[in-house]
A = this chain, B = another copy of it.
């Protein structure tokens, strides 16, 4: 197909949108390791998981066999408000780089939550409503997940309690106000509304909080409030399942254009965006139908895949959740305060970890200043201000395109542009002012955190 025939933006028709999510676990010969009950070190049962999560979501969490799971019609209707998202041909970036490569990106930022998080938020809110719950609780750091969940809960008329890390609550008042506009109750964490919050406030007066503490508060609030469950925006199998809508649309759009992707790139924090984008492509690899070069990009300041250990670990610093087997830096690892944006999680989704361990994915890490340089280049030619998280993928897409310039290869490079950076201007300002710093943890720091891993099951 000639260059002229591929449009800048390819949208599927509404009737071409996925009717099922794709569950990559069904096609994996070796499945991701199960979640473990931390007390017994035995696989967590559906009943144990249902105490914290909605029943149907707990079932999805454990479902290793069904390749396709129907997307309920109510969720498909909601998806139509902001999906299908465009697959964009980055003609202007290609021209700027002078590369023979063809660059595509799947843009998930065209919704008010500003990121792909809404794909799973609406699913989790739907199942909560269906189960007859009256509300959900969650934590948020950078705020994308909290915003997405607020929107979803507003749509289904559910109460939404968001524990927002205190330092973010104070430094990102605009994120907080978006959530409030959607009717969410936003509480700075640690707060005085939970036992664990009171305890932490007493122990560390004046603390500005952490994601681990916010998780603990959200879980406590959920289990102590009638008809309420806790929901999570990344890492879990259920979340990657919902996010497969990204990859399914991408694959359909590429097929429509007659384009075969060569390289697929996604940023990786907890793994929800990466896992969702690559699932259908990995499915083709697992079934022996196609080959792809898949790259997970993580920040050099939080390098779970490239420098972590594949082991069972706590999912949260408060150690209240089940144990998960994943590439991890240890649950006590906290990235440097000068690290901007998300991608701060100490571990990595079990699915992504297992695919990485089996060699279906390779991983690389990039430094912050390079990421913002790539973001600026992209913004100026493609007209979209990217989120810092997404810009990790941009950086590596540019690197790959420049390699093609050297070799003369016209590879098809596809990356996930997960969101917009409107609420990240403090970080952009640091970059604009030349005040941005890089940070790479030392081997000693990582070894210290890894030494605190829990006892491994036999």
Query: B-contacting residues of A (Cβ < 8 Å)?
Result: 7-9, 11, 13-14, 78, 80-82, 92, 110-112, 114, 118, 151, 154-155, 173-174, 177-178, 180-183, 376, 379-385, 420, 422-423, 425-426, 428-429, 432
Q: Which 5 A-B pairs have the closest CB atoms?
A: A174-B425, A8-B80, A422-B422, A177-B425, A112-B385
A110 contacts across to B, CB distance below 8 A: 110
Residue in B112, B155, B423 whose beta carbon sits within 8 Å of that of A384 in the complex: B112
Residue contact B177 to A432, C-beta cutoff 8 Å = yes
CB distance from A110 to the nearest CB of B (A): 5
Residue in B11, B174, B376 whose beta carbon sits within 8 Å of that of A11 in the complex: B11
CA distance A415 to B181 in the complex (A): 22
Q: Which of A118, A173, A385, A429 has the most CB of B within 10 A?
A: A385
Closest-by-CB residue of B relative to A384 is B112
A178 contacts across to B, CB distance below 8 A: 385, 422, 425, 428
CB distance from A427 to the nearest CB of B (A): 9
Q: Give 9 A-B pairs besides A78-B383, A178-B425, A178-B428 with Cβ atoms closer than 8 angstroms.
A: A7-B14, A11-B11, A92-B155, A114-B422, A155-B383, A177-B428, A181-B376, A183-B380, A422-B423
Residue contact A111 to B177, C-beta cutoff 8 Å = no
CB distance from A340 to the nearest CB of B (A): 13
Residue contact A381 to B155, C-beta cutoff 8 Å = yes
Closest-by-CB residue of B relative to A92 is B81
A432 contacts across to B, CB distance below 8 A: 177, 180-181
CA distance A9 to B111 in the complex (A): 13
CA distance A380 to B153 in the complex (A): 9
Closest-by-CB residue of B relative to A7 is B14
A9 contacts across to B, CB distance below 8 A: 14, 80
CB distance from A95 to the nearest CB of B (A): 10
Given contacts A8-B14, A92-B81, A422-B423, whether A379 and B112 have CB atoms under 8 Å apart is yes
CA distance A353 to B407 in the complex (A): 60
Residue in B13, B112, B376, B381 whose beta carbon sits within 8 Å of that of A383 in the complex: B112
CB distance from A103 to the nearest CB of B (A): 14
Closest-by-CB residue of B relative to A425 is B174
> Can you report 29 A-B residue pairs in the complex whose CB atoms are below 8 A from each other?
A7-B13, A8-B14, A11-B11, A78-B383, A81-B92, A81-B382, A92-B155, A110-B110, A111-B383, A112-B383, A112-B420, A118-B383, A155-B380, A155-B381, A155-B383, A174-B174, A174-B422, A174-B426, A177-B429, A178-B385, A178-B428, A180-B428, A180-B429, A180-B432, A181-B432, A182-B379, A183-B380, A422-B422, A422-B423
